[in-house]
Structure formats: structure tokens, C-alpha cells
Structure 1
């Protein structure tokens, strides 16, 4: 698992500046925020700290932590909350990543595998998103990149004299349809001839590999097919090649209602509205794949570190899932307020990504 460091120099300076007492007070402030979302004051801290300290002493320590940029007071005379830098510092320096129980692993295994049995890829990914939402009480997010699954079958169906349907079936059960322009005068037998030629050479190959193979067999194609059938073979693969750049990915989000339960202030409602707007926007989704590819495991993005959802100040825990050649073909994770239960969510996202990747191989 990997976690992006907010500012390495800042963290090293903060670590040198904190003694055991300061670290303990800081940890209590952050853990209280992650649990309740509320500021923690010196009087309440003096009651719950294992070591007996007066409120005045605690206020002095809080002042030092505030000077370091780790905490702040949302209102005059209020308790303290961690800053974004403070949260990042806590996640990188203090947080102990938990592990899933055997029961939790079995549940994830069972639900994801059940959703993949005889179902489409979209169904499995939607169920994975719903599963993450239910386990985290945040919103489950899955980004499905353009599929490079192995191909099983292609078929041409004539709709009109110059219009046809190209049907592509992947070995994972996905079916895609594209309307194609047919050559003038093409016959039903030529449609079958083109389909049969493609099926003899594409089965078990990805779309990229199939295009390379057909290009390699260009002379054989010309010898085996007439002109119109050869043109159909080219169209049958080109129609999906063109689609790859148009819609590179699709976003699946489940559990948005969970985010409403985590509101702690009226200002949170505006941040949530911005997040929902971000989730509705299709532009820039590929950034989610970009950030997932930056490290080999789970990535944690807090507030403005998260380029895709920075306006809403949300946190994102995300991991890539990969194909049999270890290429990143998608990402999944949890998005929610900055007080996500990171220690619990990180292993959950990591394990779910591993299971999804395994089932797609």
C-alpha cells in the first residue's frame, strides 16, 4: 500500500517538534475528529487523557500544534480540529492500518464472485461499488476503463441496405453493439463471410491484439475475401478502435445517501453539493486512473490533494485493478468527508481491488 506524502519536509519538521505529550494530545484531537467530526477542547481533553494534565497546560500544547499548522480553531473559544496538513501528517506518521477479519474477507469474496457469475462486467463492478459503500458508510466509486477483455465472437447483422450492426462478444460475457456503414451492394453471405474470417483470428485476443493480427494477415485477407467482405473486416474492428478515444471510462457510484449521514455542519452541505456535481461530471474521469497508477497499491488523497474532487474538500481512498498482464484497467475506492475511517477503509479497498482484478484475468 502506498500513501502520497503531503510535504516530506513539513512532516519531518513536525515530527522533530513534537514530544510524547504533544503527540498524544494531537492524536486524541484527530481521533476525536475522525470519530465524531467535532472540535475537541482543552477541558474535555483533560478528562480523557491517560496522563493528568491541566486545561491550561493542554491549551499551551494546542497553541504549539496550531503554530505548526497541525490543528486550528474553527471558532473563537472553540476546541480544535486537525487541518488538512494535520490529517495527512496523522495518516502518514501515526495511523496504523488495520487488517480485514477472515469473516470480512469471506464476505467480500462471496459477494464479488457471486456478482461475476454469469453476469456482465458492469454488473460485477456495480456490485463492488455497492459493497464498498455498505462497508465504509461512504460512497463506493468504481472507474471502469475501456475493456481490453479477450474476444470471443463478432457478428454482422444487416439493418438497412447501407446500415448494419456489429456485435462484439467478449469472453467475460460483455456484449457491445455498434452501428456501422455497410459497403454498397453487400450481401448477407458476405456479412457471414467477414464474420467467419474475423472469428477465426480474433478469438482469445484483445481488441488491440486482434487489430495487429488482422493487419499482419493483410495479404491472406485479400486472398480469402472479396473486396466488400475485406472492407467489412476492416470496419468490424475499426468501429471499436474509434470508440476507445471517445469514451475512455465510465464511473459507477453507489451510496451517495451515506454521505448525507456524515454531515456535521451546515457548511458541509455546500461541500456535499459540490461533490455531487463532480460525480455527475464525466470530463476528467481519467484523472482517477492517473492517480491510481501513480503507486502500486492503495492511495489516500485528502482534501485538495485529490485533483478530481478538490472543490468539495473530500477524501478519496483508491486502488487500481489490473488485467493478466498487470496493466491498470480500472480503479475502485471510497469517497467521503475528510474524516473517513482510513485505517479500516484502506485494507477494504485494497482487498476488493485484488479480488476484482483476479476475476477479470
Structure 2
């Protein structure tokens, strides 16, 4: 059974929904500035429906380390794995109804609802859904505000050891969490080719009772921008920081503390090709580095004490128009974690493994390729 989320998390979630509802309720009632020729506001509002289907092959769906994959292949740890295969096909249908129109002071805005279901072909335990709600309102021709909320009811993370039996064999349990994500963003068009954004982000994870010490609240910010110096090309970049506080930090010293600070740097580019006008192909690529420093100062917890992670994410994709107003995309993604532990191991009488051997149990790589189809109705 999932642990009950902290009460203030629900207050924040409710506040996000209420804020969006109030924004659009006020927008609908707001009268545009008088003009010589005033159009019917209803004529400027519309509802569109975006639907999508993606098929992904991922060669490491849990992001297991090489050491874990060796155990998986040899069946050397009973109960450690709930998955049937380390790789899988992931089928994701999505639906996004959007209400657009002119609202506050006759300025454009939209309300977007979203639902996606992530179905794993061979590993039912990994299946999950994601629900989202977002709203954007332009206050001037250059300035907008946006609020969004997303919720994942149940997400299987992996199995962790929770004890040992009478014979000393490890006992494992499935770690699952519910996740709430809230953000507030503002953007301003500095020039016709350059837009700057700033956002506050909040996340709350609530694990099942065996792992409630992993419950965490994360507060962060992000500064970003997009630049379109010429018609055929565009760039984007972002810098973010997050401080995540775990419940275990306020519990006994024997309890694991997974609190962390993280820094994110993202950059990307898109090329709008001038060839094959009927297809209008677009080529995109992005690269992200995430540096995570765990705040655990409890020395017995060797996998988190003094640990620093460097996560790398790289993507490259090609998209274009297909018949029947369908847009198709092919995308490759690479993910890698490089963790660094203090060079204090082995520790006689406590830890027999070297630092490099311990890091091998954390580091991982994964590759995936996705084919995606989208259409607007």
C-alpha cells in the first residue's frame, strides 16, 4: 500500500488546480478592450485534440548497473528482480485535448489536459500512467505565465533488500512510489528571435510503507532560453537547480538518507530542412548533464555517503510529415550514470570491496530508440 503523501503536498496540488481554474474562469468572464469592430469571443475559441502513439525499444528498462545485470543473467539473487527481462518494448498511447482562445484583455491562452499510458510488453510490473493539466495565458504579446501539474499514481522503481531470513539470505521488496509534479513558469520574448524563461518546480515522491524513508520533497528553479537566429535553425538551453529533502534525514541515524542537491545543464538544436517540401523534415539533437551530490553524512551507508553522480543524457531525432496529416518521429536516446564514491575503501573490518568495485554496482548505461506518430484533430 502506498504511503499517504504529506498533507501539504495535497494543499499545493489543490492550489495548483484552483489557480488554473481561477485563471480561466476570470479569463472567460473578462471583457476584451473595446475596438471599432468587435468580434464574437466564442468565434476565437476552439478545442483541438492531439493524439499520439510511440513504440520504444529500451535495452535496460530499470537502468541496472553492470553488476546487477550480471546477477540477473546468472539468476544469482533470488527475489532481487521482479522483471522478466532487462530489455523491453514500451508502447505509449497519449491523448491531449486543448482548449485555446483569447481571454484576459483579449490575449491568447490555452488549457491543456493530458493522459499517457506506458505499457511494457514483457514486464507488467513496469506499467504506469501519467495525468497532466497545464494552462498558459499571455499578458502581453511578449509575456506569458504558465502553471502545470502532473501526477503518476504508481511507478515501480526496483527491488531493494529489506532484511534477511533465518538462513541469512537476503529478503527483497518492490519499491514503488506515487509522484506529484508542479511548476510555474514565465516567459518573455526579448527579441523576435530570442525568448527567455524562468520556472519554479516542485516534486513530491511517496513510497510504499517499506521504503517511506525515501519519501522526498524537491524544490527547484530553472532558467532557460530559445534562440531562432535564422528560419532553418533554432537552439535552446537551460540551467536548473534542485534541493530534495528525504524523510530519512529526520529519522534515526541507522535509516538511509537519500537527500540530494542537483544541477542540470541542457542544450539542444533543431534544423528545419529545406529539402523534400512535402515532408518538411526536422533534425534535432540535445545533450544534458545532471550533477547530483548526496547529502548523506552517515558513514555506514556506503552507497550514499560522500557520493556524487554525473548523469548524461543524449538524444538525436528526425521527424517529418506523413500522409493523413500525421507527423512521424524517429529518436535515439543514450543515458549513462557515472558515480563517484570516496576513495576510502576497502575499510578493514567493515567493507572488503574497493571503491571501484562499489561504483560498478551503481554505474549504468542504457540505449533506446523510439518511433512516434502524432496527429491533431
- Structure 2 length normalisation: TM-score? 0.24
The structure with more helix, counted as a fraction of residues: 1
- Per chain length, whose mean CA-contact separation is higher, i.e. which structure has more relative contact order (CA < 8 Å, sep 6+)? 1
The structure with more strand, counted as a fraction of residues: 2
- Structure 1 length normalisation: TM-score? 0.24
